[in-house]
């Protein structure tokens, strides 16, 4: 037990080293390189964004992490265990892009099915299923068939099945794709709650604003190659500039301020009224009613 | 180090149960079952087409013919559909993203499909026994002198024949699953499944060709066909049984062992093939 804990402390949640994936195309077996010598390290407890345009290798990378595709070369480890081993999947919860679940099942049956596959049983199973359904806000719809669910509800039941077996690493592939802003905000909030619980989250999304809000670090892929990697704050922040927020000043006082700054060798580069974000206005209007 | 995740019968049973649940909630398979039941129950109205066969024998042939025809259609389409729905709807991604062995997935699917085939064969066999019993009672009332000859129908034979039909469908499901494990499309799987059914029924031709000898190539090919494919004629007891004569149980047991051997090989190859499959 102590050894296991020690190993976990040393091992990152996810480590990819020189990962390559080639696909054969056509009868002549031409190689298409989907992932090209990818190195990534995701520490436990981080929310990590995997970004890139369509076809950049994000989904292929995720499939290799899940052991659904075998790497052509390189290594991929989840908490120190090779991703090709079934054991690695015990620590992973996965929400695929645009999930299609067994539509003939009810939400509760679906979560129960995945929970049992994840090794839960008995009283703990029943309690955990109800708990995660409540966490994603689907208690009222839990006994309805999935075929009657909206897109947002599908994503939420997908999240429920992903977290039901207490995984330490969550892989969320476009979790808010096609979901309205209220649903997207609820999913974002849930991701932050999971982070607060100490879970590691690997997330892909084309909504860069969302990524910026929730991720600690990001990696940007293009044509299978790692283009940029770093902490979000370091990447988007400008250490040599500051914004000061004050109530609107009369023109004369503004002129005084500019002169005062210039007398000290500084330049006032921009004066602008801060703008509220449209998604926040939408949430204030609609979210509260919901 | 993490604890090993070993092969689990519990997870296999869960996948099997889910397969049965999916089949049960699909109207198409229910419709095939109802159609088969209607044919069995309506067999008495077709007795004018008995081509000289005794009436009860004709009814039994009719029932087992329905079981073989609709059962094969049900098993091939259900295997292909229930396997490819997991791939096409990407439910296999979430399923295999859990600590589940691919062998558990394949065996769970097979057990679920074999169960569906078993339910179908049980229902059709029970209906057939009902039809036979009802007509037998009617004939005994019409011809009371014949009652001294003993029972017209050996119901244990009917049950044995039903069991063998089920084993045949299970072998067919295993072979169709083997094809599905590497096939790219559902259509290819269905077409190949029907080819396997036809080859299995004509397998005796390959055995004859092998026994006759000839060129090494012809002998090799016919030997391969005779070994690689199951002989489905062995399962068709209804053709050979006299309705009133009891069938030796050891014959049924021998065919069951034969079927289990082919099921084991086909499922084993399906697991090996599916383990290599990139999803």
Q: What is the pLDDT of residues A156-178, one digit of tens each?
A: 999 999 999 999 999 999 998 87
Nearest to B254 by CA among B167, B178, B174, B183: B167
Task: Output the CA angle B62-B68-B74, nearest 5 degrees.
Answer: 130
pLDDT at residue A290 greater than cutoff 60? no
Widest Cα–Cα separation across chain A? 76
Chain A residues touching B26 at Cβ < 8 A: 104
* pLDDT for A286: 72
Q: Is A71 exposed, middle or buried (0-12, 13-18, 19+ CB in 10 A)?
A: buried
* pLDDT for A27: 67
Chain B residues touching A121 at Cβ < 8 A: 10
Strand positions, DSSP E, B110-260: none
Six token digits for residue A141: 């719809």
Alpha carbon distance A32, B278 (integer Å): 15
CB atoms within 10 A of CB A3: 8
Tens of pLDDT, residue by residue over A102-114, are 888 999 999 999 9
A45-67+85-236, which class in CATH?
A: alpha beta
* pLDDT for A3: 47
Question: Nearest C-alpha of chain B: how many angstroms from A102?
Answer: 7
Q: Which residue of B has its CA nearest to A2?
A: B1
Six token digits for residue B191: 């077409």
Q: Report strand pairing: A225-231 vs A217-222.
A: antiparallel
Q: Test A105 with B21 for CB contact under 8 angstroms.
A: yes
Q: Which residue of B has its CA nearest to A158?
A: B94
Q: Model confidence at A128, in pLDDT bands (50, 70, 90)? A: very high
Interface of A with B (CB under 8 A): 3-4, 7, 63, 66-70, 79, 81, 86-87, 89-90, 92-96, 99-102, 104-105, 113-114, 116-119, 121, 158, 161-162, 165, 171
Please check whether residue B109 touches A, CB under 8 A: no
Chain B residues touching A125 at Cβ < 8 A: none
Q: Give the residues across from A25 on adjacent strands.
A: A30
Who's near A265: CB < 8 A, 6+ residues apart?
none
Give the CB-side neighbour count of residue A158, counting CA atoms within 13 A: 31
Q: Which residue of A has its CA nearest to B105?
A: A117
Task: Output the CA angle B264-B268-B272, nearest 5 degrees.
Answer: 175
* pLDDT for A1: 47
Alpha carbon A110 to its chain's center:
22
Domain boundaries, chain A: 45-67+85-236
pLDDT at residue A54 greater than cutoff 50? yes
Q: What is the dihedral of CA B12, B15, B20, B23, to 10 degrees?
A: -140
Q: Which residues of chain B have pLDDT under 70?
A: 1-2, 48-53, 146-151, 238-246
* pLDDT for A171: 96
Q: Answer whether B243's CB lies under 8 Å from B161's CB.
A: no
> Out of A89, A93, A100, whose CB is closest to B89?
A100
Chain B residues touching A114 at Cβ < 8 A: 94-95, 98
ipTM over 0.95: no
Question: Nearest C-alpha of chain A: how many angstroms from B23?
Answer: 10
Q: Answer whether A151's CB lies under 8 Å from A74's CB.
A: no
Q: Test A118 with B98 for CB contact under 8 angstroms.
A: yes
Q: Is B2 exposed, middle or buried (0-12, 13-18, 19+ CB in 10 A)?
A: middle
Q: Model confidence at A212, in pLDDT bands (50, 70, 90)? A: confident
* Average pLDDT of the residues in A260-280: 85
- The H or E element spanning position A209 is helix A208-214
Higher-pLDDT residue of A182, A1: A182
> Out of B5, B18, B97, whose CB is closest to A92?
B97
Question: Nearest C-alpha of chain B: how many angstroms from A66?
Answer: 6
Nearest to A118 by CA among B11, B108, B2: B11
- Write the DSSP string, B91-115: HHHHHHTSS--HHHHHHHHHHHHHH
Alpha carbon distance B25, B44 (integer Å): 31
> Out of A66, A96, A117, whose CB is closest to B11?
A117
Strand arrangement of the beta sheet that strand A73-78 belongs to: A30-42, A14-25, A73-78, A81-82
Question: Nearest C-alpha of chain A: how many angstroms from B29?
Answer: 14
Domain boundaries, chain B: 9-276
Q: Which residue of B has its CA nearest to A167?
A: B98
Share of chain A above pLDDT 70, in %: 94
């Amino acid at each position: 037990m102590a050894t296991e804990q020690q190993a976990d402390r040393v091992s990152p949640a996810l480590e990819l080293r020189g990962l390559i994936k080639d696909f054969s195309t056509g009868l002549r077996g031409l190689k298409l390189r989907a992932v090209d010598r990818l190195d990534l390290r995701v520490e436990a407890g981080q929310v990590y964004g995997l970004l890139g345009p369509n076809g950049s290798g994000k989904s292929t990378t995720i499939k290799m992490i899940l052991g659904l595709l075998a790497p052509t070369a390189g290594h991929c480890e989840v908490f120190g265990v090779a991703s090709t081993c079934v054991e690695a999947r015990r620590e992973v919860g996965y929400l695929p892009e645009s999930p299609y679940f067994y539509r003939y099942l009810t939400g509760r049956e679906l979560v129960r099915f995945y929970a049992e596959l994840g090794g839960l049983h008995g009283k703990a199973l029943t309690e955990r299923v109800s708990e995660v359904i409540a966490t994603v806000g689907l208690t009222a719809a839990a006994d309805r068939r999935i075929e009657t669910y909206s897109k947002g509800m599908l994503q939420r039941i997908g999240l429920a099945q992903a977290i039901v077996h207490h995984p330490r690493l969550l892989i969320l592939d476009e979790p808010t794709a096609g979901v309205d802003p209220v649903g997207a905000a609820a999913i974002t909030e849930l991701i932050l709650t999971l982070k607060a619980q100490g879970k590691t989250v690997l997330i892909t999304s084309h909504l860069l604003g969302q990524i910026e809000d929730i991720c600690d670090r990001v990696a940007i892929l293009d044509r299978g190659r790692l283009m940029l990697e770093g902490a979000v704050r370091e990447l988007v922040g400008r250490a040599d500039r500051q914004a000061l927020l004050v109530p609107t000043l009369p023109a004369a006082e503004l002129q005084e301020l500019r002169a005062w700054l210039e007398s000290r060798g500084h330049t006032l580069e921009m004066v602008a009224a801060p703008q509220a974000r449209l998604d926040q206005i939408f949430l204030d209007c609609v979210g509260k009613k919901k | 180090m993490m604890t090993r995740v070993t092969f689990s019968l519990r997870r296999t049973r869960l996948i099997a149960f889910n397969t049965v649940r999916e089949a049960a909630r699909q109207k198409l398979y229910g419709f095939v079952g109802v159609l088969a039941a209607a044919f069995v129950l309506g067999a008495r109205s077709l007795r004018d087409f008995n081509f000289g066969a005794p009436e009860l024998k004709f009814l039994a042939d009719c029932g087992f013919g329905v079981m073989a025809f609709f059962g094969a259609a049900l098993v091939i389409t259900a295997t292909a559909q229930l396997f490819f729905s997991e791939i096409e709807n990407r439910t296999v991604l979430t399923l295999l993203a859990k600590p589940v062995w691919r062998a558990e997935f394949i065996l769970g699917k097979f057990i679920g499909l074999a169960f569906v085939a078993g339910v179908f064969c049980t229902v059709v066999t029970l209906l057939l026994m009902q039809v036979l019993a009802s007509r037998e009672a009617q004939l005994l009332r019409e011809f009371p002198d014949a009652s001294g000859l003993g029972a017209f129908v050996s119901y244990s034979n009917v049950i044995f024949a039903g069991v063998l039909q089920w084993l045949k469908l299970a072998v067919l499901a295993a072979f169709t699953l083997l094809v599905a494990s590497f096939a790219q499309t559902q259509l290819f799987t269905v077409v190949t499944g029907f080819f396997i059914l036809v080859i299995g029924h004509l397998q005796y031709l390959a055995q004859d060709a092998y026994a006759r000898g000839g060129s090494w190539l012809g002998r090799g090919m016919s030997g391969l066909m005779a070994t690689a494919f199951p002989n489905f004629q062995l399962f068709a007891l209804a053709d050979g049984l006299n309705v009133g004569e009891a069938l030796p149980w050891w014959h049924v047991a021998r065919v069951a062992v034969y079927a289990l051997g082919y099921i084991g090989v086909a499922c084993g190859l399906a697991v090996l093939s599916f383990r290599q499959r990139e999803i």
